[in-house]
Amino acid sequence: MRRLLAIQLLIILLLFCLAAPNMVGQTQSTSPQKAVQTQRQSQGFFDYALGKINPSNTDYGASMASSRTA
């Protein structure tokens, strides 16, 4: 019984130690240049590839549909 309590206490202490860095209220200061860089990095592969293929973001499907109905 005492051993089980010690193991539970150890697990709770371990979880607290893992969560403690997230509890600290410090914020990182980023420069505008780094903010743009992280925004580029967060863009997925397909978004990047489509941006290279269709940089003006033209909706070709809508233009084809409007030409068919006209």
CA torsion 63→66→67→69, rounded to 10°? Answer: 160
pLDDT, residue 13, reads: 86
Answering whether pTM is above 0.75, one says no
DSSP 12: H
pLDDT per residue as tens digits for the range 17-69 = 777 766 666 666 666 666 555 555 677 888 888 889 998 988 889 999 999 88
